[in-house]
Amino acid sequence: MEDNEDEQTHSTTGGENEVKDAAFVHGEPSQDDNKGPPLVDSEAIILHEKVTKKIIKEGRGEKPSKYSTCFLHYRAWTESTQHKFEDTWQEQRPIEIVLGKEKNQMTGLAIAVASMKSGECALLHVGWELGYGKEGSFSFPNVPPMADLIYEVELIGFDETKEGKARGDMTVEERIGAADRRKMEGNVLFKDEKLEEAMQQYEMAIAYMGDDFMFQLMGKYRDMALAVKNPCHLNIAACLIKLKRYEEAIPQCSIVLSEDENNVKAMFRRGKAKAELGQTDAAREDFLKARKYAPEDKVIVKELRLLDEDDKAVYQKQKEIYKGIFGPRPEPKPKQKNWFIFVWQWLLAFFYRLFKLEKQKVN
């Protein structure tokens, strides 16, 4: 589907709350659990005696100051064994650090984050003194004593707050309001086709609506929170489909459907991502469910028709292949006569008869 769809069909294709006509569309590509830290060729930057950084992807804008609330994703390994002990991308759970108020085990990570710009990805080496220390951690995460650490980290973004107010210190209204502001900033970036930047804003909004927070909400407050959180997931899916990162878009839609099983946009976008991946049966199932709740939506009907046409094309191609394999054998072409051989055979026969006659006369 393209942007700028007919207004009558924007119910499934448009983004949520001012992000309209976004048919498809963050998330980090999945990584094999058996793989260690990525190899990075950039020059190492010494941030501290125990902290070095190699930039994987440049960020933009300013760096956070002390007491900024920073939102980030990371993977963490013990350097000696290459054991990955934490992965917020896999858990789809960005974490929050208030610079200057971080936990002791996050000191080295916080030093590095303070040197980063929004959107920057980096590989960090942190000495055990600024990590989990001499004792390590035997609960979660499981980190052995005196373990030097490696982080692959992305700074999603940060909020500048003079008082360094963490999410846990905010009221429900403050957290929902902060998330909604991030969502609206993401919508503006989405309209400008700045998809990566938009996704960072949506992820920061979702970070305010963490699972622990949502679990505590009931009634109108839960409805208020979902009215911010679900559109962010859907708009991330829209960005990912636009970026052709279809596998990452699917779980974003599934999160929404776990809260709102009749959400047409979530069904449609998940179906679109599956269709692009060649999962036609699963895509058709999502499109049919979406059509049940939005029977007049022309875009859903169009996608179902495209799936049917694709199935017919595949069937016809298979038919031609099987026809070639199992069809009637072609008639053999008549062989052309070789006149030289024919004449030579006639001469041999003639001389044989002549020789035979002469022999009879002699006898």
pLDDT in tens, 303-335: 999 988 877 766 667 666 766 565 555 555 555
Beta-bridge mates of residue 157: 71
Does 49-159 match 7-27+167-310 at the fold level?
no
The pLDDT value recorded for residue 77 is 96
Task: Indicate the residue type of 221.
Answer: Y
- pLDDT-based confidence at residue 2 (cuts at 50, 70, 90): very low
Q: How many CB atoms lie within 10 A of CB 159?
A: 20
- pLDDT-based confidence at residue 162 (cuts at 50, 70, 90): low
- Among 65-79, 153-167, 205-219, the range scoring the smallest mean pLDDT is 153-167
CATH architecture of 7-27+167-310: Alpha Horseshoe (1.25)
Whether the per-residue pLDDT at 247 is higher than 50: the answer is yes
Element (H, E) at 54: strand 51-57
- Within a 13 Å sphere around the CA of 303, how many CA atoms are in the beta-carbon half? 33
Whether the per-residue pLDDT at 20 is higher than 50: the answer is no
Exposure string of 106-131, with b = 16+ CB inside 10 Å and e = fewer, is bbbbbbbbbbbbbbbbbbbbbbbebb
| Cα-only R_g, the chain | 34
Whether the per-residue pLDDT at 10 is higher than 50: the answer is no
Pairing relationship of beta strands 51-57 and 121-126 according to DSSP bridges: antiparallel
Higher-pLDDT residue of 273 and 341 is 273
Q: For residue 361, give both structure tokens.
A: 């006369």
Q: For residue 317, give both structure tokens.
A: 């191609």
Is residue 185 a contact partner of residue 178, using CB atoms and an 8 Å limit? no
The pLDDT value recorded for residue 328 is 58
First vs last C-alpha separation in the chain: 101
Higher-pLDDT residue of 1 and 99 is 99
Beta-bridge mates of residue 69: 98, 159
How far apart are alpha carbons 281 and 217 in whole angstroms?
Answer: 37
pLDDT in tens, 82-113: 999 999 988 777 888 889 889 999 999 999 99
- pLDDT-based confidence at residue 291 (cuts at 50, 70, 90): very high
Match domain 49-159 to its CATH number in 3.30.450.20, 3.30.460.20, 3.10.50.40, 3.40.50.300.
Answer: 3.10.50.40
Residue boundaries of the structural domains of the chain: 7-27+167-310, 49-159
- pLDDT-based confidence at residue 217 (cuts at 50, 70, 90): confident
